[in-house]
A and B are shown apart, each in its own frame.
Chain A
Amino acid sequence: MFMSNPFAELSAQIPVAVMQGYIILMVLLVVGGTILDMMHKKSAKYFFLNAKKEKQNAKRTVGAGEKLVIATTVLANEVLTSGEFCNVRRRLSHLLTMWGFILFVATTAILIFGYPTSTTPAPTILPQLWHIGALMLAVGGYWFWFFIRVDVSAEGLTWWRLERADLFILSLLATATFALLWSFTEYNGYAGWSTLFLILFAVSGVVLFGGVYWSKFAHMFFKPAAAYQKRTTRADGSREDMPADYDLTDPEVQKRFPDLPEYLGKNPPNMGLGIRREKPSHY
């Protein structure tokens, strides 16, 4: 199953043009949904207003070279490795779902446009990556859904309680699960089941990519911009009106806040993790 290209087998029943049209339609739905979402939430307006405010409060100018370093850091830290998560379990789950989704979507597009029929056999690695991507997405997604999701872990709600915020994760899970079930049933020749799972796979795909306006799908485009802005505010000294990160051993700081050397000494020790010494489990 992992070696076979499910789309090549499907091309015997469905014209290649229909499969390719479906992919194009999904791309258009994502683009349209993101634009509508941006207009509705005024994300771009907020971003530029924030940038203007940041410029007014800046203590120094951030040069082009420094901006490039910030952009590279955002790419390496926030985008590729989900570094903004402070909880290791959430970070791992996000990495699994994110990279699983990227692998799954990219290989789907490559298989449908590059190797759609059995006369154009795909390199073995592509169907393997397609299945691995779907599995990663399912593992990370179900882990999140049952255990890590804040409604379950912090609010103490049951996992079957649904709300609008679940649209994205549920449609992702449905897409990955039905894709794997479709591939399995098609490979093993369960004709009726494979048709059913194919229909469910296609429908969940439409919900996932067509529901951008209502779900948090578009966060994957906005998050990097927000992370970049957050890092720039630290670099230019505007700090979003946050207090400075004081060095308590600096004589200037000690002179300005005499309480600090009086109660903490001139060279205060590391006080430890404080509230973060234990995992939150208070509800």
Chain B
Amino acid sequence: MPTFVYMTRCDGCGQCVDICPSDIMHIDKSLRRAYNIEPNMCWECYSCVKACPHDAIDVRGYADFAPLGHSVRVKRDEKKGIIAWRIKFRNGKKDMELVAPITTKPWGTAFPKLAEEPAPSKQMRDSQLLFKEPKYIRLDDGDLRSLKTAGLKLKEGVYY
């Protein structure tokens, strides 16, 4: 679902241009408002949707997501730590709102304290394993660990 800009809501601040990893959010040459120059190349990361201070950027859902002509509007509220979606069908009768948490801890409090980590040994540096591997990919006991051996339980629905 590539993103697009409501030109009347955009104030041309350039935050989406700054953040777009595909460099496809650009400024229009006659109106100085942002627009997605190449929706086919959009990674759909929604960084621009999140960064836009005016909620001027939305996503265009594919036909398998909802019948064409629908509206998908997203509001990311950083202070509350939630993202809310509203999907409205073309006929206006089907109108759904979904809200999900995007963080359970205040922003910036869950960074790993790398400065406190011991320096890697030569053996670790020469190894192909990345930082915290194999511990974090749970291959440390010689085999793939199951949810049961790890003491975890599969819950129904969406979880984080």
Contact = CB atoms under 8 A, between A and B. Distances in A.
B86 interface: yes
Interface residues of A, number: 47
B79 A164 contact: no
Contacts of A273: 78-79, 107
B18 A282 contact: yes
Contacts, number: 139
A241 B73 contact: yes
Contact of B30 (A46, A154, A165, A253): A165
Contacts of A242: 55, 73, 75, 86
A273 B158 CA distance: 25
Interface stretch (B5-13, B123-131, B134-142): B5-13
B69 interface: no
Interface string A235-270: 000001111111010000100010110011000111
Interface string B1-42: 000000011011111011100010011111110000000000
A221 interface: no
Contacts of B81: 264, 268, 271, 274
Interface residues of B, number: 53
Contact of A277 (B71, B77, B108, B160): B108
Nearest to B83: A243
A150 B27 contact: yes
A216 interface: yes
Interface of B: 8-9, 11-15, 17-19, 23, 26-32, 50-51, 53-55, 71, 73-82, 84-86, 88, 92, 97-101, 103-108, 157-158, 160
Interface of A: 46, 56-57, 84-87, 90, 150-151, 153-155, 163-165, 216, 226, 230, 240-246, 248, 253, 257, 259-260, 263-264, 268-277, 280-283
